[in-house]
């Protein structure tokens, strides 16, 4: 199992830095096949058929035929995404520990067949952070720093 920080999930929320941990399975992990899927390879030019003003296919049956004609590749989707909010003063070690502990907790639920979204209850209700402009700027800068170094935080665990 693997935990990664998803840079597109980093934001400032309630006066804290919000991080998105994405948890992936490896071939020897429980229920791996549920998130190891085939997806179409969409060419850069996209769908060649007619689109409406919002960019949606006008002829959905033609669009489905086009999608079904494309080559496919195998991809691993996350089995769970978990959002955490941390202080802008958080250390790399604290982030790594939080990732490691979260991966173990959620993989445990996953491997037992539990519905993570319905059964997981936060252990602590956190209070909002400092909403001052100075703190929000610190959060934004910390978020950018973490996003730029996201690969450094990858954690692998054994099931």
Contacts of the segment 129-138: beta carbons below 8 A, 24+ positions apart: 129/14, 129/15, 129/16, 129/85, 129/87, 130/15, 131/14, 131/15, 132/15, 135/15, 135/88, 136/12, 136/15, 138/88
pTM value is 0.85
Torsion of CA 82, 83, 88, 94, to 10 degrees: -20
Per residue in 110-124, pLDDT tens? Answer: 999 999 988 888 877
pLDDT over threshold 60, residue 159: no
Per residue in 70-109, pLDDT tens? Answer: 999 999 999 999 999 999 999 999 999 999 999 999 999 9
CA-based nearest residue to 5, from 156, 157, 153, 159: 153
């Amino acid at each position: 199992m693997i935990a990664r920080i998803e840079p597109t999930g980093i934001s400032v929320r309630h006066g804290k830095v919000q991080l998105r941990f994405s948890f992936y399975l490896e071939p020897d992990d429980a229920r791996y096949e549920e998130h190891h899927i085939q997806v179409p390879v969409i060419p850069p030019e996209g769908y060649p058929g007619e689109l409406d003003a919002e960019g949606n296919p006008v002829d959905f049956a033609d669009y489905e035929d086009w999608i079904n004609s494309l080559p496919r590749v195998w991809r691993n989707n996350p089995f769970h995404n978990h959002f955490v909010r941390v202080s802008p003063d958080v250390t790399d070690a604290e982030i790594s520990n939080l990732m490691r502990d979260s991966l173990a907790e959620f993989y445990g639920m996953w491997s037992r067949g539990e519905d993570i979204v319905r059964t997981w209850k936060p252990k602590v209700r956190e209070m909002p952070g400092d909403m001052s402009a100075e703190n929000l700027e610190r959060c934004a800068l910390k978020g950018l720093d973490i996003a730029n170094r996201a690969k450094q935080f990858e954690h692998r665990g054994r099931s």
